[in-house]
Amino acid sequence: MGPKKGNTNTKVEAANQRKAAQAADKKSKKSAQEEANAAADWAQGADGRSAKRAQEEELKRQQADAKKAELKRLQDEEEAAMSGIKAKAKSKAQKDIDKPWEAALAPVAKKSNKGSRA
């Protein structure tokens, strides 16, 4: 046997109406809260937001300038410390070592094995 047609359950209909009323109430409260938040943001104004953004950019720029100044100061200190150091003059042997290609270009002298016998 199937369900009867034509009869409606009044309790179910009443419950559905209550649910719909509660959902509409929640939705209206939520939308009112969202509108209040949006109005508060707009009341602050675009000038306030742009001023905050400009302040943050200025702070970043100042930090970058301070970092550059610190690096320049460190470089100046290092150059001042290095200016007092003088390089030693190289001896002829060291100069020859520094130029190995000249040794390769020099003529090869023949060795004599006659004097090496004991």
pLDDT in tens, 13-45: 999 999 999 999 999 999 999 999 988 888 777
Tell me the DSSP string of 53-87: HHHHHHHHHHHHHHHHHHHHHHHHHHHHHHHT--P
Which residues neighbour 98 within 8 Å (Cβ) at sequence distance 6 or greater? 90
DSSP secondary-structure letter at 1?
-
Report the pLDDT averaged over residues 76-105: 75
Average pLDDT for the chain:
83
- Whether residues 51 and 77 share a domain: the answer is yes
Domain of residue 68, residue span: 47-82
Report the pLDDT averaged over residues 45-61: 87
pLDDT in tens, 59-77: 999 999 999 999 999 999 9
In a domain, 6, yes or no: no
Structural domain count, the chain:
2
In a domain, 8, yes or no: no
Q: How far apart (Å, rounded) are the C-alpha atoms in residues 114 and 118?
A: 10
- Whether residues 32 and 56 share a domain: the answer is no
Asked if residues 80 and 86 have their Cβ atoms less than 8 Å apart, the reply is no
4 has pLDDT over 70 = no
- Whether residues 74 and 52 share a domain: the answer is yes
pLDDT band at 108 (very low <50, low <70, confident <90, very high): low
